[in-house]
Amino acid sequence: MAAPRRDLWTPTAGILAAITFLVGVVMVSNSPDSDDNNAQIISWYADHGHRVTVIIGAFILAFCGLFLLWFAAGLRQRLRVAEGPEGRLSNVALGGAVLCIGMFWAGSSLLAAIPAGQSLGGASALTVSDVGRYLPQAGFGAILLFSMFGAIAMIDATSVVIYRTGVLPRWLGSLGFVCGVVLLFGVIFLPMIALPIWLIAASIALYRQPEGAGT
């Protein structure tokens, strides 16, 4: 009987996705506050250091999307084997991850639009403060609200498969349901930490349990 195959790439991608998500969000969060006055917002965008920080954060979130896609593809393969030919929930998990990634990239684009336009595209300095006030809010909405619904689909689908098949430890399924509830409140910023927590936990479980091994 062949020994269980150990896939190191999938959990490694999950760890990297968690790290780049945290670093990227922290960096892009260095954006003007919605309650700043007009002069403060225009002054913020005039600072080259502020703009560069947001641009770098957006690139890091782009890499987060790549790592998350790699992780989700490997996770789907593991879930699909456990589910059988139909693999409906494994498809939901992958689809949720793709939605999450799309929202990461859309939100990052919105957050970096003005900084990148000025620093990289040669655009003139910002003169209309409301553009600088609301564009970042749209970006954060995409990253912290709508992307989290994709993450919830990925996490909850994985948890259901775990409970049905035992493909991964049951504690990961329980943690997933808790994280899914917490992420509903991701728009208030702090609850979004549940996503990297789950990614790290899932990656540890995948490291410790080779494909084809029982719980």
Q: Whole-number mean pLDDT of the chain?
A: 90
Average pLDDT estimate for 17-30: 94
207 Cβ contact list (under 8 Å, min separation 6): 8, 11
User: What distance in Å separates the CA atoms of residue 184 and residue 195, rounded to the nearest whole number?
Assistant: 11
User: What distance in Å separates the CA atoms of residue 31 and residue 143, rounded to the nearest whole number?
Assistant: 14
> Both tokens of residue 108?
């990052």
Which 8-state DSSP code applies to residue 212? Answer: T
Longest dimension (CA), the chain: 71
At residue 212, the pLDDT reads 55
Q: Higher confidence at residue 106 or residue 119?
A: 106
State the pLDDT confidence band at 182, using cuts at 50, 70 and 90.
very high
Whole-angstrom CA distances from 119 to 13, 46, 52, 126, 138 are 31, 10, 8, 12, 21
Q: What percent of the chain lies above the pLDDT cut of 70? A: 94
48-57, 115-124, 141-150: the lowest-pLDDT one: 115-124
Cβ atoms within 10 Å of 103's Cβ, excluding its own = 23
State the pLDDT confidence band at 180, using cuts at 50, 70 and 90.
very high
Whether the predicted pLDDT of 1 surpasses 70: no
> Both tokens of residue 32?
């003007």
3-state helix, strand, coil in the chain (%, to 5): 80, 0, 20
State the pLDDT confidence band at 130, using cuts at 50, 70 and 90.
confident
At residue 173, the pLDDT reads 96
